[in-house]
Amino acid sequence: MNKVAIVTGGGSGLGQAVALRLEKEGVHIVVVDIQEEGGNATVEKVKALGVDSFFVKADVSKPEEVKNYVDQTVNRFGTIDYFFNNAGISGSGKFFLDSTIEEINQIVGINLLGALYGAHYVGEVVVNNGGGSIVNTSSSAGVIGQDSVVTYSATKHGIVGLTKSLVAEYAKDGLRVNAIAPGPTETPMVKAFYEANPEMKENATRGIPQKRLGTPEEVAELVTFLLTSKAEYINGEVIRIDGGFTNTK
């Protein structure tokens, strides 16, 4: 019987790469994104490779829309086995005191509250069904401090706390929760951020021992490993995938 996965932020970048990689494991994919065009494009790519998939449009900062994508998944497939809790935004790159309260609220709403809502509603299904796996997307900015991304960094540190504390409460019920902490990666979100802040790309690349950005496909391999039974005894970990970037900090 095919496993079932929800991937938020699945319309591009890490989410799309993970959806396509999970397809190789025979996993049915529910793609969640606020952008319909990208979300539907991912679904078409996944279905063309041979598994079932559908798209749900959602603003993850709204709990009712998070509950809706969970309910639609259960109605269609009966269960949830894997959850890539990934949707997020980076913000403008302005220093914190130059940021507006509206931007702070938006980043917190999507990156942290959206992840909490997703973990809550998916966790209910997973625990009631005897177990499953969640991978949350943190960031290099979730394990070290970085300028120009203070609010983003705060939310990604929050993801680390979410990951570890869920394990403390629910590992006994069959729930596995891990987090990834990618460094600068060639995703549309990161590319847009660096286009608006070109000096930061140069600084980031210079600071990566491997002297390049990561790729979504490299991250997708790690996420797939952590979600599936190949990582059955890995729980509560925050795994950095950053070319050594945070190792030098």
3-state secondary structure of 57: strand
Q: How far is CA 224 from the centre of its chain?
A: 12
Query: CA-to-CA distance for 103 and 106, rounded, in angstroms?
Result: 5
CA–CA gap between residue 246 and residue 249 (Å, rounded): 5
The CA-atom distances, in angstroms, between 67 and each of 64, 74, 118, 125 are 5, 11, 8, 11
Residue from 69, 121, 152, 170 carrying the catalytic annotation: 152
Beta strands in 91-217 (DSSP E): 132-137, 175-182
Examine the residue annotation and report whether 152 is marked as an active-site residue of this protein.
yes
Q: Which residues contact 39 (CB under 8 A, 6 or more apart)?
A: 10, 11, 31, 32, 33, 55, 56, 57
CA 208, CA 214: separation in Å to the nearest integer?
A: 10
Which H/E stretch holds residue 243?
A: none
| Nearest in space to 86 (alpha carbons), one of 1, 199, 7 | 7
For residue 191, the tally of other CB atoms under 10 A from its CB is: 14
Q: Give the number of C-alpha atoms closer than 13 A to the C-alpha of residue 29, restricted to the C-beta side.
A: 36
Active site residues: 152
